[in-house]
Structure 1
Amino acid sequence: MINHQDSFRLMKRGIIIIILLCIAQSHFGQAKKLKQANRLFENKAFVEAASLYQELEPNQEVLSNLGDSYYYNFQLKEAKVAYNELFNSYKDSLNKEIYFRYAHTLKGLNQYEEADKILSEYLNYEVNTKAFIEKLSRTVPYDYTIKSVNSGSSAGDFGVSYLGNEVVFASLRNSKSPSYKWNEKPYLDLYKASVSNDISFDNVIPFSEEINTDTHESNATFTTDGKTMYFSRTHNKQVKIGESKYAVVKIYRAELVDDIWTNIEVLPFTDDSYSTQHPFLDEKNNRLYFASDMPGSFGSFDIFYVDVNGDSYGEPVNLGETINTKHREQFPFVSKDNVLYFASNGHQGLGGLDIYMTHLKEEGHSTPMNLGSTINSGMDDFSFVLKGSFEKGYFSSNRDGIDKIYAFQREENKRTYLVEGEVRDKNTKAILPGTKITLLNEDGSIAGETYVGEDGKYVFETEPNKKYKIEGYRDFYIPTTEAFNTSDEGKIELNIELEIESYDDAEEIVVTKVDGYIYIELENIYFDLDKWDIKPQAAKTLDVLVDLLKKYPRMEIQLGAHTDSRSSEAYNLKLSNNRARATLEYLVSNGIDSKRLLSKGFGESQPLVNCSDNCTEDEHAINRRCEFIILK
């Protein structure tokens, strides 16, 4: 018979088994759900993946993928929550690229101070976005007035190109299109429209049933006669590249024959292992620019071009590290004056993709310039195009949560041209307050002067397209001069750090002694008894001093003559003055300006060996000397 105590034990054991089974089942369910979420994440089905990750225990893997799922769909408030928890718990073990995405998430939410801290850790140097925006306001070539374009849809539009009097753009408005797993929105198609008042797209219709398919089409560009087009199309099948799967994008070409777009073919430099996208054909129709992550790229996507010769194409050429970074450079547009406009999140910016400009030159492209806060935002800003007038155009942005097309009108910004920098000791790198900085025009005339403060910094306003020199000078230091040109393109704030070297560091014969004075140490100059004329041996010594003074035209010195104590004080003082004066006259006769020289006789008042009336001949010789002290 089972007693009550045994019955209780059996019941307790059963409860424990049930609890363990529930825990095991829950763990199995969590593992299964994580596997499913990861599969969706790898297939870029970010909306579904995020939904599943939200139901899982928030470990490092879950929080990282959850944050990324929101980030890639521009749900930045949600991404911030996930990234914030990830950083609070696992910061020291994170991949550094997560720092980059977290910082851009914060920038997109206009939380610049917090974003700059994260980005500074990522880049290993200090970032100050607010100061950068303020600097841009003084230096960008143009200010932009922007207005949202009314296209008759709120689904999402971007990427305007011109076709005669019409515009062509990509849109998500085709509700009959299959759903794209990345964002669960329709696939992109191309549309065309007429334009009224620059801010309304009228008579919007699908571009061509021959071009639009059940996958993405976007970013059309046309020859000047309108009979050939290039555009981006996404493959409807994903291919595995490395550890992930991607639906690669390729550039296609099509011809207009009898008002029908036909002869549609993929370009020969595309491939299933990388994407080519965002084509732009220059005005002469002989160079096609595009973005790609093909081999030879510096990062995620770079800007390339190929030369076009009829139906043949040259080899893709990367535009180089001045333009391309380890991150994304996309959406190229080249104006008639050979200025490249492109979108990037790899150069310093306001957040997300920003629009930049650079002058394309055979000898080297200019440093890209951010177009500034009148057109760029903390979100993605891209697909910049100009009309022929250079004053108007379009760009795209998701600053309001979805991709929209914006019209802009630009006018010249009244820029401030600055040269700025700081002054440091060449050897110790210590800041040198009180240094005099002089800005010189090309003809040597003074354009400005200042003395640096405790921070060692200086700043001058300059004019465009001029040659200048900037000089740093302080007592006991060798003046340093840097030449520079101002330009009307690229960066017009020049940072010139002046490193100046002390005489003591530059010359072995210049020594700072314990009394605080800086001496020029030369062989002693000897005079005949009761004489002060310069003997040949003394002249050789003084010639070394002449060379030093000519090498450093601003050096000023004191010539000090000393005697021994074997005559009266009055006699010795007169004798030493004569000898100091004779030394000065020798230097002047050899081309040294007397204004740089001070002669002084000290008589017997400053003996090196204080032996009074009991000096040996050697001690008298030591006291009988000339000393050269640098005054400035």
Structure 2
Amino acid sequence: MKNLFFLIIIILTPLTILAQRPTVKRADKLFAQKSYVEAAKMYKALKSDAHILQNLGDSYYYNHQMELARPPYTFLFTEYKDSIKPEVYFRFAQTLLAIKNYEKADEIMSEYLGYEIDTRKFIENLNNIVPYVYELKRMTPTNSTGDFGISFYGEKVVFSSPRNAENPIYKWNGKPYLDLYEASVDLNEQLIDITPFSEEINTKTHESNATFSKDGKTMYFSRTNHERVKIGDEKIATVKIFKAELVDSVWTNVVETSFSSDTYSVQHPYLNSDNSKLYFSSDMPGGFGSFDIYSVDIIGDGFSEPKNLGETINTAHREQFPFVDDNETLYFASDGHQGMGGLDIFMSQLRNQGFVKPLNLGETINSEADDFGFVYSEILEKGYLASNREGADNLYAFKRMDNERRFIVEGDVRDKHTKKLLPGTTVTLFDENDILVGEMVVGLNAEYVFNTKPNTKYKIEGHRALYIPTIEEFYTDDDGRLVFSIELEIESYDDAESIVVTKDDGYTYIELENIYFDLNQWDIKPQAARTLDVLVDLLNKYPRMEIQLGAHTDSRASEEYNLRLSNRRANATLEYLVENGIDRNRLKSKGFGETKPLVACGGNCSEAEHSINRRCEFLILK
């Protein structure tokens, strides 16, 4: 019998080892199940290709392990850039922002967005225009609690945490499932007397983000569905919002809200001050992106149909954790609006026409990591939020003060003729002595905001590639808190000048009379000089314009000879412009030889066709 036992061990051991051997199929299955911790371990042991690098990077990214996500993403973009999907550009850029590699992050994000951004200038400008400055203090002595989703609960607070080690392990991040906890906050803003919330509420699955009615007798909270539902090729457990009532000091009557679903998630509820409206985040169909913010009206014991807060608030990415103060100002977390990295917290005031453009709350509140779950009490004059800026989710208490520097001018940038917004335009602000006050590259909404002083004259300028710079002057008055709205309209070169043409190849050229050179020569003849003088006048008229001088030959000599000749002709053209006062830094020259003929006639070209192929082109670069 003893020998039989050892025989079984010997037979089973290789099978166990085989079952644990990393394979792409097993790693992909773990990834599809959102078991990102185990998936990452397996992908790391496999030979790299584009698929493995992306999923390895994603596995770390979804668990906010940005230092670990950076190497596979970097290798992916180095070796397989042509096959990368747009959403991976976004994740890589966010990864780089999280480790404060702003230059590379801006490069990748600019490729993703299709226009330039400058995060450093964005942050610098933002700190001057936010309405408040903040002081933050972590609410626990250690940095590994995983606490978030805090709310006011009478004289206490309620928050979400994975601190119950007896709960099942969540395979996404390898931590216990979330429960709700209640606690007091001492004079040093530390959580004390922490106890699990009601047993009627906490279960073996996730509970988080509780919000309470004014009288404390009704609560709404998020709970993960107990059952997984197959959607497409995946089995998922959605998040739902539940309602509970306090009866005789016991939370009871726990029911799922009517707008919850087995096929999409609704989460992060927040009840407004008069208990008439519930805000939440959802990935339900029909939204703008990953997660959008919605609201429902509370009608008796029921709810209206969910209403999406619209594209002013919601983007193609994540908008989550809504909070609405007593003045109906919305605060929420987003990684879709321009920020500092990860989820940032934004505010948006409610006006007659709905919520206005969100404003990033700036440094201190926001960081390069995820910052979310903002709540504030006007009565207590303090608030709370969550952030993983120290590596794990932690709760922070904050106090806020008025930002004394907040005197602002704002507006947007549009095409003068089409009135279309022009994201990626650089806007600069100068004082009356032409000293630079601020500069920013406008985002998707093409809006700019600058800090100003009262009783001061300013000049604001908008400029972008292939457009004529526009300058507006204005004065501020005694009340520096007034908002000056100036719409900058800029005109493209091809709208302003008949000799500037945007061709079918998408590039913009200056069309001048052709420049002719003697056979095998590159010196500038009088006819060529007259043509180039027109170019000199245009470059003097638009001092920000930069061009490339491209010279082309016919095909009657060797390729090597024609390339040398065209380079000499392009350089000669450039030198003529420099001799006539044009800054060399605005000019580039390039010889193309016979490589780009307008008439592809090979070795059978007529003299007229050769003449057409011998030319100089003037490409506008900026």
**What TM-score range do you get, normalising by the shorter chain?**
0.5 to 0.7
Task: Judge conservation of contact 2:408–2:483 (CA < 8 Å) in 1.
Answer: no
Quick one: which of 112, 119, 138 aligns to 1:122? 112
Which residue of 1 is the match for residue 517 of structure 2?
A: none
Q: What is the Cα deviation at residue 93 of structure 1?
A: 0.6
Which residue of 2 is the match for residue 175 of structure 1?
A: 165
Cα distance in 2 for residues equivalent to 1:359 and 1:74: 30
Which residue of 2 is the match for residue 15 of structure 1?
A: none
Cα gap change, 1:168 to 1:276, in 2 (>3 Å): same
Task: Judge conservation of contact 1:344–1:354 (CA < 8 Å) in 2.
Answer: yes
1:345 aligns with 2:349: no
Q: What is the Cα deviation at residue 155 of structure 1?
A: 2.8
CA deviation digits over 1:556-608, x for unaligned, max 9? Answer: xxxxxxxxxxxxxxxxxxxxxxxxxxxxxxxxxxxxxxxxxxxxxxxxxxxxx
- Secondary structure of the structure 1 residue equivalent to 2:39: helix
CA deviation digits over 1:354-402, x for unaligned, max 9? Answer: 0000012231321100000121011100000001247410000011111
Which residue of 1 is the match for residue 287 of structure 2?
A: 297
Cα distance in 1 for residues equivalent to 2:121 and 2:205: 43
| Match runs of 1:173-212 below 5 Å | 173-197=163-187, 199-212=189-202
Cα distance in 1 for residues equivalent to 2:375 and 2:481: 19
Quick one: which of 336, 354, 377 aligns to 2:326? 336
1:100 aligns with 2:90: yes
- Secondary structure of the structure 2 residue equivalent to 1:348: coil
Q: What is the Cα deviation at residue 235 of structure 1?
A: 1.4
Which residue of 1 is the match for residue 268 of structure 2?
A: 278
CA deviation digits over 1:114-172, x for unaligned, max 9? Answer: 11111111001101100000010111111111110027883310111111101000011
Unaligned runs of 5+ residues in structure 1 are: 1-27, 428-436, 440-446, 507-513, 517-632
Q: What is the Cα deviation at residue 485 of structure 1?
A: 11
Ranges of 4+ aligned residues in structure 1 off by more than 4 Å:
28-32, 419-427, 447-452, 457-466, 468-472, 479-495, 498-501
1:145 aligns with 2:135: yes
Which residue of 1 is the match for residue 408 of structure 2?
A: 417
Task: Judge conservation of contact 1:359–1:489 (CA < 8 Å) in 2.
Answer: no
Q: What is the Cα deviation at residue 34 of structure 1?
A: 1.1
- Secondary structure of the structure 1 residue equivalent to 2:107: helix
Quick one: which of 248, 261, 271 aligns to 1:258? 248
1:392 aligns with 2:392: no
Cα gap change, 1:426 to 1:312, in 2 (>3 Å): closer
1:356 aligns with 2:358: no
Letter in 2 for 1:104: Q
Cα distance in 2 for residues equivalent to 1:117 and 1:343: 24
Cα gap change, 1:276 to 1:35, in 2 (>3 Å): same
Cα distance in 2 for residues equivalent to 1:459 and 1:105: 27
Letter in 2 for 1:232: S
Cα distance in 2 for residues equivalent to 1:438 and 1:153: 42
Task: Judge conservation of contact 2:208–2:223 (CA < 8 Å) in 1.
Answer: yes
- Secondary structure of the structure 2 residue equivalent to 1:146: strand
- Secondary structure of the structure 1 residue equivalent to 2:23: helix
Task: Judge conservation of contact 2:410–2:485 (CA < 8 Å) in 1.
Answer: yes
Name the TM-score, length of structure 2 as normaliser. Answer: 0.66
| Match runs of 1:547-566 below 5 Å | none
Task: Judge conservation of contact 1:46–1:69 (CA < 8 Å) in 2.
Answer: yes
Cα distance in 2 for residues equivalent to 1:72 and 1:78: 11
Cα distance in 2 for residues equivalent to 1:272 and 1:57: 38
- Secondary structure of the structure 2 residue equivalent to 1:289: strand
Cα distance in 2 for residues equivalent to 1:123 and 1:261: 48
Q: What is the Cα deviation at residue 240 of structure 1?
A: 2.8
Cα distance in 2 for residues equivalent to 1:256 and 1:130: 49
Q: CA RMSD in A?
A: 4.2
Quick one: which of 38, 60, 73 aligns to 2:63? 73
Which residue of 2 is the match for residue 38 of structure 1?
A: 28
Cα distance in 1 for residues equivalent to 2:38 and 2:338: 33
Which residue of 2 is the match for residue 588 of structure 1?
A: none
Quick one: which of 63, 77, 86 aligns to 2:76? 86
Higher mean C-alpha deviation, range 388-397 or range 136-145 = 388-397
What is the percent sequence identity of the aligned residues?
52
Quick one: which of 206, 209, 229 aligns to 2:219? 229
Quick one: which of 18, 42, 46 aligns to 1:52? 42
Cα gap change, 1:59 to 1:31, in 2 (>3 Å): farther
Name the TM-score, length of structure 1 as normaliser. Answer: 0.65
Q: What is the Cα deviation at residue 481 of structure 1?
A: 8.1
- Secondary structure of the structure 1 residue equivalent to 2:331: strand
Which residue of 1 is the match for residue 315 of structure 2?
A: 325
Task: Judge conservation of contact 1:417–1:464 (CA < 8 Å) in 2.
Answer: no
Letter in 2 for 1:188: L
Task: Judge conservation of contact 2:348–2:355 (CA < 8 Å) in 1.
Answer: yes
Cα distance in 1 for residues equivalent to 2:294 and 2:191: 31
Q: What is the Cα deviation at residue 338 of structure 1?
A: 1.2
Letter in 2 for 1:496: L
- Secondary structure of the structure 2 residue equivalent to 1:236: coil
Task: Judge conservation of contact 1:194–1:201 (CA < 8 Å) in 2.
Answer: yes
Which residue of 2 is the match for residue 546 of structure 1?
A: none
Quick one: which of 117, 132, 140 aligns to 2:122? 132
Q: What is the Cα deviation at residue 238 of structure 1?
A: 2.5
Cα distance in 2 for residues equivalent to 1:206 and 1:379: 28
Cα distance in 2 for residues equivalent to 1:318 and 1:84: 36
| Match runs of 1:208-607 below 5 Å | 208-389=198-379, 391-413=381-403, 414-418=405-409, 496-497=488-489
Q: What is the Cα deviation at residue 422 of structure 1?
A: 9.3
Task: Judge conservation of contact 1:147–1:407 (CA < 8 Å) in 2.
Answer: yes
Cα distance in 1 for residues equivalent to 2:110 and 2:429: 34
Cα gap change, 1:239 to 1:482, in 2 (>3 Å): farther
Task: Judge conservation of contact 1:358–1:490 (CA < 8 Å) in 2.
Answer: no
Cα distance in 1 for residues equivalent to 2:482 and 2:332: 14
Cα distance in 1 for residues equivalent to 2:371 and 2:165: 25
